């Protein structure tokens, strides 16, 4: 019988900091963690996941572009995964997968705990409607924001995300081309992968900004540079990348797998202090 194994699935995945984070959590709790990064194409993901289970896999994280596919492969899911329609944390139960989504609670913990933001009563603009956006939208609403405006290049995806939230009046969709008509926001979240690997600038209307605006990119490292550069040039009060969210959602996953929630500040500080290329969000 193989020892319990854990992994993160994605494409690309070589960049992932998740093995480093999970290893640090395990070390802090005296647990030997066998956690690896597994590259899988969208077409090959289901087979790769089953091969992993057959080889002793009992838990996994899922990153781009597999979060919605992972949801479909689960026999049971948590209520927050159901609201999101996306899964980033898997737990093997017998011969089946149980799915959860820890992205949203990870983001809220990072923003409210690490950065001291009060999300209550805020207007929030969410750019993107894929698996990452789906993961954070429910948690933002639960955190007490006033209104969530979802904008996506494909309007039907934004409409589908808003419909899934079942929060008429609080969660609405809008056209990307009509951003100038949306007023200003206290929180702008980039959940798109538009800047990944392109090295191009990020451009949004300055009318979205007010004196309290915080900008957050769910990507981290190089992939977050274009959006954060725009945020700073536009005069946003705060701008953060997704590294803190990554660490916090990883802690939630670790707790589900091992029954204890690790302290996150040490590994966050270690990763934040490195100048190595930390690219794209998990």
Binding residues: 16-18, 63, 88, 103, 128-132, 218, 220, 242, 249
Annotated binding-site members for NADP(+): 128-132, 218, 242
**Preceding amide of 170 cis, omega within 30:** no
Catalytic: 93?
Answer: no
**Parallel, antiparallel or unpaired: strands 123-127 and 185-190:** parallel
Exposed, middle or buried: residue 194 (CB in 10 Å: 0-12, 13-18, 19+)?
middle
Could you tell me the CA-to-CA distances from 65 to 41, 71, 73, 88, 173 in Å, in that order? 8, 12, 14, 11, 22
5, 15, 66, 67: which is the annotated catalytic residue?
67
Please list, in sequence order, all residues whose beta carbon lies within 8 angstroms of the beta carbon of residue 225, skipping any fewer than 6 positions away.
195
> Which has the closest alpha carbon to 128: 152, 147, 107, 159?
152
Annotated binding-site members for shikimate: 16-18, 63, 88, 103, 220, 249
Active site residues: 67
């Amino acid at each position: 019988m193989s020892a319990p194994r854990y992994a993160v699935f994605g494409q690309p995945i070589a960049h992932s900091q998740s093995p480093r984070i999970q290893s640090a959590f395990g070390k802090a709790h005296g647990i030997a963690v066998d956690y690896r990064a597994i590259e899988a194409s969208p077409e090959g993901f289901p087979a790769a996941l089953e091969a992993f289970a057959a080889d002793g896999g009992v838990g996994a994280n899922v990153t781009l572009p597999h979060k919605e596919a992972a949801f479909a492969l689960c026999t049971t899911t948590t209520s927050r995964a159901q609201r999101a329609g996306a899964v980033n944390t898997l737990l093997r139960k017998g011969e089946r997968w149980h799915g959860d989504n820890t992205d949203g609670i990870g983001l809220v913990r990072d923003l409210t705990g690490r950065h001291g933001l009060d999300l209550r009563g805020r207007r929030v603009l969410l750019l993107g409607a894929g698996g990452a956006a789906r993961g954070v939208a429910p948690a933002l609403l639960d955190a007490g924001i006033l209104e969530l405006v979802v904008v996506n290049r494909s309007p039907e995806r934004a409409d589908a995300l808003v419909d899934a939230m079942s929060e008429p009046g609080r969660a609405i969709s809008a056209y990307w081309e009509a951003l100038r008509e949306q007023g200003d926001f206290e929180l702008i979240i980039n959940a798109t992968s538009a800047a990944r690997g392109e090295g191009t600038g990020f451009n949004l209307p300055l009318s979205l900004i007010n004196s309290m605006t915080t900008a957050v990119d769910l990507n981290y490292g190089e992939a977050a540079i274009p959006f954060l550069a725009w945020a700073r040039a536009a005069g946003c009060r705060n701008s953060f990348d997704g590294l803190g969210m990554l660490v916090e959602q990883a802690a939630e996953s670790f707790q589900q797998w091992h029954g204890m929630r690790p302290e996150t500040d040490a590994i966050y500080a270690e990763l934040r202090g490195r100048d190595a290329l930390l690219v794209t969000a998990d």
